[in-house]
Structure 1
Amino acid sequence: MDLFVINRYDESKTEGNSKSREEKILEKLQRRIEEKKKQKQLDQSINKNDSIKIESMDIEPVKSDEMVKKKKKKNKVKKEQLEVEFKKEPVDTETNEKTEELEEMSYTILGGQKFVEPQPIEMILPYWLANPEIISSDLSIKGTEVAELKYICETLQKNLKNMKIKNLFPVQEKIMPNILNAHKKPIPFRPKDICVSAVTGSGKTLSYSVPIVQYIVDNKTESRVTALIMLPVFELATQVASVFDKLCNNLKVRCLLLTKHRDFAAEQKALIEKTIDGEFSSKVDIIISTGGRLVEHLFYTEGFNLKSLKFLVIDEADHAMSQVHNDWYHHLLQHLGIINELQSNRLSYRDLMSLVNDDGSYRLPQKLLFSATLSQDPEKMSTFNLFQPKLFTTADNKEDLIKYQERKQEEDQRGQFIGKYTTPAELKEFFTITEYKLKPITLYALIKKHNWSRFLCFTNTVETSHRLSFILQTLFGKDLVIEELSSLLPLKIRQKVLHRFSNGDVNGLICSDALARGIDVAKIDCVISYDVPKHLKIYIHRIGRTARAGHEGTSVTLIAPDQINFFDKLIKTANKKSVQEMKPEREIEELNALNFANAQKKLRKALEVETNERSKVKSKSGGFSLFEKLQKQVKPAETIEMVPESWKHENIHETPTNGKIMKKEMKNLSKKKLKRNKGKQADKSKEVLN
């Protein structure tokens, strides 16, 4: 009981102390309020004295009452603003006086805040992105003739004429002399990097290939790797390599294509030769490569040297920026001996001279970025650490040019640059609304109605292109030849199909978006998007396969009813107003409804046979083709007259083996490299002992 009484006594004591503390805090606050009131009275008296002095100088004095009124008005305005912001009803006069006193004492009043949603921040681009050099997108305008170009040698002019190029396009006329002039300045001046966002089919490949070849012709003393052209896809790399081969005809300039689809040891022999002194020398001046293959040669090819590189061309640059896993650029910088590339962008003489090799060449080459849909995201562009870059872009029409000129006058407004999603002026864009189940027959009816004998059809998945090629071929029969081009086919058959299509032996190709990147096939009548593209960049690259080099072309996109809103947003982001509706041909669809139903039945049976064949045998055994097996299973009235290459028996069994061969080669090379390193270490240890 005594302990309980003691505890109660302590609690009452602490409560009394807490009350006394609160009273002390209130007394302090009152003292401060009284002190501030006294200071106000002193200020007012000082103002009165000032007014008396002003009277002696024959100037009308300002009354203290007027000053008080002005202050009261200001306080009222503040109160009204607070009531609007916090949405409160007017408080009593007593509470107002207390709030005024607290505000004067610089105490913040908690509670009652209104949280406003932040407004979207407008994007402000760097100056070089917001102020590009505009190039015309009208490819019908004839530029200067090839024979009149003074900065190109005669043999190169003849090679261009043999390629049936008589006049330059606007992009080529602007960029070719710019690249050559940038390398005429002596050290320590460094050539500025160039970015080009131009319309598909405007001649971007020639705009960088011609000046590179001409520079090597003018400055070559011995064979060194002077230019490296990086491409994302094998098909595009072969196309660019064929352009360089034609340009280098009868010139002492050698180029080589590096891809995973070739023998690694054969590429090593074509790249480097070993002299009698035991040193390595390059056989090649220009290298066209994909990212993965370049990294393999940097690690496993002895004597491979890129330190004399003058040009680094990144074609389809937006694709390279999006490939985070592709770190070929990082390995290239390590090979060049540059730890921090940001130091190279400084303008100090010491930093610049530290990047100069013994032969007087820079370790860092000039970067040339090309794409039809170049990214305007500064963060993505910073991956390549561009040096004082200059942007060239094309404009669709006169309205864009007027807007650009108006925006250029207002320096503060730096939004999107012009020419991000430009398309050729000769292209006509359409869309057709149909149901998912009727898509194949709608596509067949459109091709039949408009007599498209040379077309490309893009799908979002490989499975869709595989099935669609079978259905279209069964519907057309002998009237048209339809083929599939996808990763399901081995490389040899893909090259064969693409060659037949370019020659005119194949009428239609059903393919995935891998082909949409930069493939140049002449005179395509129409490009059809069987599936709506997931992004605007994919749409631009698809429709860019037609209306190339000044020729007319058509693009059609098949849309389901629930995809209309998505497609509208896709088109609005590109500021396109010319996309029109092409109505489906219902009469042709109704006449061929029975044939379409039979084609679907044949497809089901063909898929069953295909899965069984792939599960049974992995080798190339079996003399009968899939076509013949299908003829035995199906009735004579339902026989298939033709079948695409991808559905033939030998192509089902043939699978690409380059990956397995590459793994074996890489293992052998790594073993050889380990043996060499062990041998070198043993030699060093012997020298130390001696």
Structure 2
Amino acid sequence: MMKFNDLNILPEIKDSLDELGFSKLTPIQKLVIPKALDGIDLIGQAQTGSGKTFAFAVPIIEKIFIPDRSPQAIVLCPTRELSMQVASEIEKLGSKIKKLKVLAVYGGQPIGKQTRVLKKGVHVVVGTPGRVIDHIERGNLDLIGIERVVVDEADEMLEMGFREDIETILARTPRQRQTLLFSATIPAEIKQIAKKYQKDPEFIKVSDSRKNIPKITQYAFKCDIKEKFNGLTRLIEAYDVKMALIFCNTKKSVNYVSKHLKNDFNVDSIHGDMTQQMRDKVMNKFKNGNINILVATDVAARGLDISGVDFVINYDVPQNIDDYIHRIGRTARAGKTGSAFMLVSKDEMSRFKNIRKANPSKIIEKEFPTPEELDSLKTEKILNHAKALIQDGDLDDYVNIIKKEFKYDNLEVAAALLKMMREN
């Protein structure tokens, strides 16, 4: 397997990669980086979570001429969240290179702050198409020195109506630029843009996004619509959920699920009608571990890349297979494993059947855990924890307290403590 040390790139980039814990290239990185370093235009088909950010970030940083403080690369992203995330990844990758400047530009933040940073000099601009155009038209962003343009999550940008903006930006950048285009799917519109704005692009595909989910265990739970919420809470308890994303199809559904889960779990929600400031606040809580369950709509969660999500739960069945794959792809990031649950009511059966038919990975049908099974699982967790403490030792002080305070049989004391913990 190819390693980053095998690449002919700056030692500073290798040092940063090593510090970040990356040594081996993912399939998309192995195919993209050498060609991108050679200046070839590329169309890369790969899903979110495949490592494509570093696939384009390494060539971008490698080719930056630091003494020139004007923009040399632009990365276009569909959402504010993804723009911030990509800019942060590029900054981490270039942290060993002195005076490298990266800026994320997006709506929802005062334009004056971004303008001041642009005026001081920036090497790489990452942003949403609308805000990038805004800066171009205000004279804040000079495109004359742009050598590389990356269009990330291209299919999502087209779905969000950004085609005209993307074409406007590409048309205003120098014709001799390198253009890298990444997308989970390649619809006709993307092919049209590629034909018009790229120079003999090479097409790179890292397995079908629908097949690139081997480490996600997928379960479906058929239920009556009235059983859904109760079933959801049982799943969260039974599977010892540490960090989960729950997807709903509507804002109304998000509000309902979030409101009722808050009685027992650390939960918050995001949806498209919330202000950007509110969404950022919630996302920070989720990333920092202040909440461990986030309820969201597809639009609000677009472009999110959060490590540590072990469960994705589809409270509502997605509209189609592509939405399903995008949703469950939020778990099992960076080679880890994850689980995806789908709650299917009778009126969602046709959508579920379509998804199952189009999905090459098996979706296992299961029953919700019964109350008796939940009780058994809770007891098992407590006893396993107790066994681990016994194996670790260091219980002498506690043993002495029990000997001093209790004159009962050891099993009776243990049973009383178990009962106390179970009823808590």
Residue by residue, what CA displacement relative to the aligned partner does 1:58-97 show, whole Å, maximum 9, x if unpaired? xxxxxxxxxxxxxxxxxxxxxxxxxxxxxxxxxxxxxxxx
Alignment-mate amino acid for residue 95 of structure 2: N
Between the aligned partners of 1:206 and 1:286, the Cα distance in structure 2 is: 14
- 5+ residue gaps, structure 2, are 376-424
Q: Which residue in 1 is equivalent to 2:193?
A: 383
The sequence identity of aligned pairs, in percent, is 27
Distance 1:503 1:333, change over 3 A: closer
Distance 1:316 1:334, change over 3 A: closer
CA deviation after TM superposition for structure 1 residue 540, in Å: 0.9
Between the aligned partners of 1:329 and 1:200, the Cα distance in structure 2 is: 20
TM-score, structure 2 as length reference: 0.82
Q: Which residue in 1 is equivalent to 2:248?
A: 459
Between the aligned partners of 1:166 and 1:201, the Cα distance in structure 2 is: 17
Residue of structure 2 aligned with 1:259, choices 102, 106, 116: 106
Matches within 5 A, 1:9-88: none
Between the aligned partners of 1:323 and 1:489, the Cα distance in structure 2 is: 17
Residue of structure 1 aligned with 2:71, choices 218, 221, 225: 225
Q: Which residue in 1 is equivalent to 2:50?
A: 202
- Does the Cα contact within 8 Å between 1:309 and 1:363 map onto a contact in 2? no
CA deviation after TM superposition for structure 1 residue 437, in Å: 1.8
- Does the Cα contact within 8 Å between 1:198 and 1:393 map onto a contact in 2? yes
Between the aligned partners of 1:486 and 1:555, the Cα distance in structure 2 is: 21
Pair 1:370 & 2:162 matched: no
Residue of structure 2 aligned with 1:268, choices 104, 115, 136: 115
Distance 1:469 1:300, change over 3 A: same
Between the aligned partners of 2:162 and 2:58, the Cα distance in structure 1 is: 31
Pair 1:428 & 2:217 matched: yes
Residue by residue, what CA displacement relative to the aligned partner does 1:527-572 show, whole Å, maximum 9, x if unpaired? 0011111122211110000011111111011111232232222232
CA deviation after TM superposition for structure 1 residue 153, in Å: 1.4
Q: Which residue in 1 is equivalent to 2:148?
A: 311
- Does the Cα contact within 8 Å between 1:199 and 1:424 map onto a contact in 2? no
Alignment-mate amino acid for residue 188 of structure 2: P
Pair 1:173 & 2:173 matched: no
Distance 1:285 1:520, change over 3 A: same
Distance 1:225 1:242, change over 3 A: same
Q: Which residue in 1 is equivalent to 2:381?
A: none
RMSD of aligned residue pairs (Cα, Å) = 2.3
Distance 1:508 1:165, change over 3 A: same
CA deviation after TM superposition for structure 1 residue 368, in Å: 1.2
- Does the Cα contact within 8 Å between 1:196 and 1:391 map onto a contact in 2? yes
Alignment-mate amino acid for residue 285 of structure 1: H
Between the aligned partners of 1:420 and 1:523, the Cα distance in structure 2 is: 21
Q: Which residue in 1 is equivalent to 2:86?
A: 240
- 5+ residue gaps, structure 1, are 1-142, 184-190, 274-282, 337-361, 396-418, 592-690
Between the aligned partners of 1:421 and 1:168, the Cα distance in structure 2 is: 21
Q: Which residue in 1 is equivalent to 2:314?
A: 529
CA deviation after TM superposition for structure 1 residue 363, in Å: 2.5
Q: Which residue in 2 is equivalent to 1:322?
A: 159
Alignment-mate amino acid for residue 175 of structure 2: R
Residue of structure 1 aligned with 2:206, choices 389, 394, 397: 394
CA deviation after TM superposition for structure 1 residue 581, in Å: 0.6
- What is the DSSP-based 3-state SS (H/G/I as helix, E as strand, rest coil) of the residue aligned with 2:245? strand
Alignment-mate amino acid for residue 139 of structure 2: T
- Does the Cα contact within 8 Å between 2:71 and 2:124 map onto a contact in 1? yes
Residue by residue, what CA displacement relative to the aligned partner does 1:646-678 show, whole Å, maximum 9, x if unpaired? xxxxxxxxxxxxxxxxxxxxxxxxxxxxxxxxx
Alignment-mate amino acid for residue 225 of structure 1: P
- Does the Cα contact within 8 Å between 1:311 and 1:367 map onto a contact in 2? yes
Between the aligned partners of 2:210 and 2:227, the Cα distance in structure 1 is: 31
Q: Which residue in 1 is equivalent to 2:237?
A: 448
Between the aligned partners of 1:494 and 1:589, the Cα distance in structure 2 is: 37
Q: Which has the higher contact order (CA 8 A, sep 6+)?
A: 2
Between the aligned partners of 1:379 and 1:499, the Cα distance in structure 2 is: 34
Alignment-mate amino acid for residue 329 of structure 1: I
- What is the DSSP-based 3-state SS (H/G/I as helix, E as strand, rest coil) of the residue aligned with 2:294? strand
Pair 1:520 & 2:366 matched: no
CA deviation after TM superposition for structure 1 residue 221, in Å: 4.8
Distance 1:225 1:235, change over 3 A: same
CA deviation after TM superposition for structure 1 residue 233, in Å: 0.9
Between the aligned partners of 1:333 and 1:153, the Cα distance in structure 2 is: 28
Q: Which residue in 2 is equivalent to 1:163?
A: 20
- What is the DSSP-based 3-state SS (H/G/I as helix, E as strand, rest coil) of the residue aligned with 1:484? strand
Residue by residue, what CA displacement relative to the aligned partner does 1:137-186 show, whole Å, maximum 9, x if unpaired? xxxxxx3333x2341212111211222223222221221111002x3xxx
Higher mean C-alpha displacement, 255-264 vs 245-254: 245-254
Between the aligned partners of 2:337 and 2:43, the Cα distance in structure 1 is: 27
Q: Which residue in 2 is equivalent to 1:550?
A: 335
